[in-house]
């Protein structure tokens, strides 16, 4: 983490600490009313007793007539339960001073259906009755939201209050007695907490509505749904809902408070699913969460038709799997490195604490107090604030992710063309000149066709890291992110092309030499799935031109890369292979389970065998593989050079075996491709192989196609010249099938022309082919070259070619390609 990030985090932590200090101080002042109830601050003495009526048929007269059935215990010991029963509570009060006292008896449960307060004197005579409860009509909003009864006691007066609670929902009703001033303090504290809660939730809902309209992300709607559910639930539980909704609405919400609980549970699971982006994964947990949401929705509808004390039990039971599901979803994302879940995880702490304290208070494990009564409200408030922070963190991360994807490639996560352009713009704004340097991995597109995307991306990453290491030591190569001192200098342009910028103005020769040395230091091999891929590189340099735009600058760099590859073969056959087959091929070379077969070449003048063409075979491949596909696989995986050197070695070995049998004039022809020119010091390696096997250079011939000549003219002229100096002859193979030009016959020192079999297969019946073949034979002889005809399959064709004056022939009429041992037997038996 850099210094700027640390500074921002410190400031954020400091501000958060100050805010929580303010909230804690406010809570300390607002949470005090129950510490100042009248029984703790004034000489009012009380005695409590209660009776539970399961029959719901007890009357006031019966209650007063049966005092022996009362339990003389504090109200906190009442066995509150979710059941169909009435609760009768008796509160005896005595004022032990001469001064009159104004009392407020507060019943802290605004969801009670019916609450009757009977005021009786010390002789049991009814003085007056007060009817409270959300199903009692004609009350003020104040009485609905804060059920209470006012009582004036004269000096030394004794009186009793008989309280009957009849409800189908949560029956527990804490009863507190306040003096007039303390009751006003209670109301102020209560209103302050309600106001803060309502204000924060409404502002959060409006803010996220704006975000939804701008971003169109459904998670904000779910968050707003959670806020509204929290307002509905807490408005019913604490009573402030009577000030938010029409009276009839709030009474309905009180009746369906279980539905509000299901709603907040529904949006809790939905938010967890959407926020953690499980809807993008479609995994087992996502399917489970969808099923659970459907269950919650169904149970919420069923709750409309059930009594509250029955549906409440089902709801409390369903909370256990809800918490387990959400914890599992959070845990899975945390272990997977989910970056923006920390605030969301923190939001569960107050929710779990608040949700645990509320049932503990209802069951009597935690004593009632004003703070405990409002702990769930504070927990939801903290949770909603932390959820808002989590959403903000999510937006920040998504923005950073979008910026990252805009400046990095998705596959390799290296800097991309956009960062290269940004660096270029920064340089040109300072009126500086720069060289664009491109390095390309040869045949990378071919590699991509057989490698997995992750494997080809890893090759790019490996090469880029090596290149970065090389140029990082040199200050002439600039950082692509100028704001960062240690930012990367290499950009990935795709298709195996890496780019970097040099600002040192030097001669092109010096820069070319520098890049050449850089490429020599790059990885030559890359091991993947048991295959040692051979890696080759080319580079280009764009000279600095002051009026270049970036696109032109880059196009010139690509043009420099393509100049060494003037003709591109767009007719490459499709090959459906994988890297494992290439690994098998490499292993077959190294274990010599590959083989070369020899097909004889016949001297048509005397019928003697004068040589053979070495053809590659893979007898133990386990599946049929066309030889052209085998060569293509080698080319695409960088094995072609290793394969060609192996074939040359095996051809020399076969020539040595022929020497030992007395056939010293016998030649072996080997096919080479244009890609073989990339083999360093190829002619020198050929010479060493010839010496290794003790044969002469004139026993080895090399066949080159016209396509190889087109792609590498200058290199091919030099290569053929060096082979001729060595003593090996060069044959122009497949003559007439490519881009035939008489220039090839003039500019290259060929000893033989080999006519493609496509002209021979129907030679007897095709007069046009006869003219072409005859012309080729005469032209070769006039240029002092031999001519070989391949594809001879019958005696009639052979006779016609002999009549035309052809020198040599090859084809199935004589023999197919066979292993060296069969070939030696063939020579001995057929052409002694």
Same domain assignment for residues 395 and 481: no
- 548, 583: one domain: no
Cα separation, 738 vs 242, whole angstroms: 92
Distance CA 124, CA 122 (A): 6
The tokens describing 389, both together, are 């922070």
Quick one: 162 and 202 in the same domain?
no
Does 392 lie in the same domain as 437? Answer: no
Low-confidence stretches of the chain (pLDDT < 50) are 1, 31, 34-36, 38-41, 565-576
Give the per-residue pLDDT at 576.
45
In a domain, 234, yes or no: yes
CATH code, domain with 153: 2.60.40.2380
Q: Which CATH number belongs to the domain containing residue 520 in this structure?
A: 3.30.70.270
pLDDT at position 743, please? Answer: 66
DSSP E strand boundaries for 736-805:
752-755, 786-790
Tens-digit pLDDT profile for residues 250-264? 999 988 888 999 999
Residue 355 lies in a domain: yes
Sheet holding 491-494, edge to edge: 491-494, 497-502, 435-441, 537-542
CATH code for the domain of 750: 3.20.20.450
Please indicate, yes or no, whether residues 495 and 382 belong to a single structural domain of this protein. Answer: no
Q: How many domains does the chain fold into?
A: 4
Give the pLDDT score at 121: 85
- Tell me which residue of 243, 279, 241, 234 sits closest to 383, measured CA to CA: 234
| pTM (global) more than 0.75 | no
Out of 379, 404, 429, a domain closes at 404
For 654, the 3-state DSSP assignment is helix
Question: Both 42 and 159 in a single domain?
Answer: yes
Closest to 223 (Cα-Cα) out of 439, 368, 383: 383
Crossing angle of helices 820-830 and 640-660, in 10° steps, is: 40
Select from 802, 814, 811 the least CA-distant residue to 773: 802
Q: What pLDDT is stored for residue 274 in this prediction?
A: 87
What's the pLDDT at 180? 84
Q: Give me the phi and psi of 22, to 5 degrees please.
A: -65, -45
pLDDT for the residue numbered 144: 92
Secondary structure of 522-583 in the HEC alphabet?
Answer: CCCEEEECCEEEECCEEEEEECCCCCCCHHHHHHHHHHHHHCCCCCCCCCCCCCCCCHHHHH
Answer whether residue 572 is part of any domain.
Answer: no
Residue whose C-alpha is closest to residue 521's, from 586, 640, 439:
439
Alpha carbon separation from 191 to 36, 47, 187, 238, 380 (Å, rounded): 17, 31, 6, 11, 17
134: three-class secondary structure by DSSP: coil
Residues 595 and 675 in one domain: yes
Residue 476 contacts residue 400 (beta carbons within 8 Å): no
Is residue 182 domain-shared with residue 227, that is, in the same domain? Answer: no
- Separation between Cα atoms, residue 701 and residue 315, nearest integer Å: 89
Instruction: Quote the domain boundaries for residue 524.
Output: 417-562
CB atoms within 10 A of CB 73: 11
Instruction: Give the pLDDT of residue 363.
Output: 62
């Amino acid at each position: 983490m850099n210094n700027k990030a640390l500074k921002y985090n410190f400031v954020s932590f400091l501000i958060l600490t100050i805010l929580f200090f303010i909230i804690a101080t406010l809570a300390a002042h607002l949470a005090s009313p129950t510490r100042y109830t009248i029984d703790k601050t004034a000489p009012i003495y009380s005695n409590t007793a209660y009776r539970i009526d399961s029959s719901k048929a007890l009357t006031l007269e019966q209650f007063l007539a049966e005092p022996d059935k009362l339990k003389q215990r504090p109200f906190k010991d009442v066995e509150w339960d979710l059941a169909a029963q009435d609760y009768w509570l008796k509160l005896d009060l005595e004022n032990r001073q001469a001064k009159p006292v104004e009392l407020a008896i507060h019943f802290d449960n605004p969801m009670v259906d019916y609450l009757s307060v009977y005021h009786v004197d010390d002789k049991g005579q009814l003085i007056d009755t007060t009817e409270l409860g959300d199903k009692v009509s004609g009350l003020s909003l104040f009485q609905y939201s804060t059920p209470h009864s006012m009582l004036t006691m004269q000096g030394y007066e004794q009186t009793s209050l008989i309280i009957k609670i009849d409800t189908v929902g949560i029956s527990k009703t804490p009863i507190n007695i306040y003096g007039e001033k303390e009751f006003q303090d209670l109301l102020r504290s209560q209103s302050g907490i309600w106001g803060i809660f309502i204000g924060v939730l409404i502002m959060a809902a409006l803010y996220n509505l704006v975000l939804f309209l701008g971003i169109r992300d459904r998670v904000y709607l779910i968050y707003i749904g959670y806020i509204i559910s929290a307002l509905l639930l807490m408005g019913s539980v604490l009573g402030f809902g009577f000030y938010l909704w029409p009276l009839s609405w709030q009474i309905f919400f009180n009746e369906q408070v279980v539905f509000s609980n299901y709603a907040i549970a529904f949006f809790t699971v939905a938010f967890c699913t959407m926020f953690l982006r499980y809807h993008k994964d479609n995994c087992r947990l996502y399917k489970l969460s969808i099923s659970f949401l459907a269950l919650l929705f169904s149970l919420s509808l069923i709750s409309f038709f059930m009594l509250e004390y029955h549906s409440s039990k089902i709801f409390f039971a369903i909370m256990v799997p809800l918490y387990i599901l959400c914890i599992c979803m959070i845990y899975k994302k945390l272990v997977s490195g989910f970056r923006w879940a920390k605030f969301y995880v923190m939001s569960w702490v107050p929710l779990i604490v608040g949700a645990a304290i509320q049932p503990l208070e209802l069951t009597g494990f935690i004593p009632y107090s004003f703070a405990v009564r409002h702990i769930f409200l504070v927990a939801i408030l903290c949770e909603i604030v932390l959820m808002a922070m989590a959403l903000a963190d999510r937006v920040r991360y998504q923005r950073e992710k979008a910026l990252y994807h805009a400046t990095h490639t998705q596959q390799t996560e290296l800097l991309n063309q956009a960062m290269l352009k940004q660096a270029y713009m920064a340089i040109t704004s300072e009126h500086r000149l720069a060289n664009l340097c491109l390095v390309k991995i040869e045949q990378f597109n071919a590699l991509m066709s057989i490698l997995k995307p992750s494997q080809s991306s890893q090759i790019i990453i490996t090469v880029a890291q090596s290149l970065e290491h090389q140029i990082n030591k040199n200050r002439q190569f600039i950082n692509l992110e100028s704001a960062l001192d240690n930012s990367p200098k290499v950009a990935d342009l795709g298709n195996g092309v890496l780019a970097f910028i040099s600002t040192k103005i030097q001669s092109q020769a010096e820069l070319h030499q520098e890049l050449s040395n850089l490429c020599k230091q790059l990885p030559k091999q890359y091991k993947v799935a048991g295959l040692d891929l051979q890696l080759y590189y080319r580079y280009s340099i764009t000279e600095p031109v002051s009026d270049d735009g970036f696109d032109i600058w880059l196009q010139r760099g690509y043009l420099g890369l393509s100049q060494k590859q003037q003709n591109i073969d767009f007719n490459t056959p499709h090959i459906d292979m994988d890297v494992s087959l290439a690994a098998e091929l490499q292993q077959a070379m190294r274990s010599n389970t590959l083989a070369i077969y020899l097909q004889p070449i016949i001297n048509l003048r005397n019928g003697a065998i004068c040589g053979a063409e070495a053809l590659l075979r893979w007898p133990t491949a386990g599946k049929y593989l066309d030889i052209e596909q085998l060569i293509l696989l080698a080319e695409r995986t960088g094995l072609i050079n290793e394969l060609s050197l192996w074939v040359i070695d095996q051809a020399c070995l076969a020539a040595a075996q022929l020497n030992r049998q007395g056939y010293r004039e016998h030649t072996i022809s080997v096919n080479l491709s244009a890609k073989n020119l990339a083999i360093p010091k190829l002619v020198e390696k050929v010479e060493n192989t010839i010496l290794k096997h003790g044969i002469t250079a004139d026993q080895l011939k090399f066949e080159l196609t016209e396509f190889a000549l087109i792609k590498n003219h200058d290199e091919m002229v030099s290569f053929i010249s060096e082979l001729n100096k060595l003593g090996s002859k060069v044959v122009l193979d497949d003559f007439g099938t490519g881009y035939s030009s008489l220039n090839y016959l003039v500019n290259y020192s060929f000893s033989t022309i080999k006519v493609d079999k496509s002209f021979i297969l129907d030679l007897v019946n095709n007069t046009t082919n006869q003219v072409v073949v005859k012309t080729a034979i005469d032209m070769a002889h006039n240029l002092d070259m031999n001519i070989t005809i391949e594809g001879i399959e019958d005696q009639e064709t052979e006779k016609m070619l002999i009549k035309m004056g052809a020198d040599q022939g090859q084809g199935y009429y004589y023999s197919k390609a066979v292993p060296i041992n069969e070939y030696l037997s063939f020579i001995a038996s057929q052409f002694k």
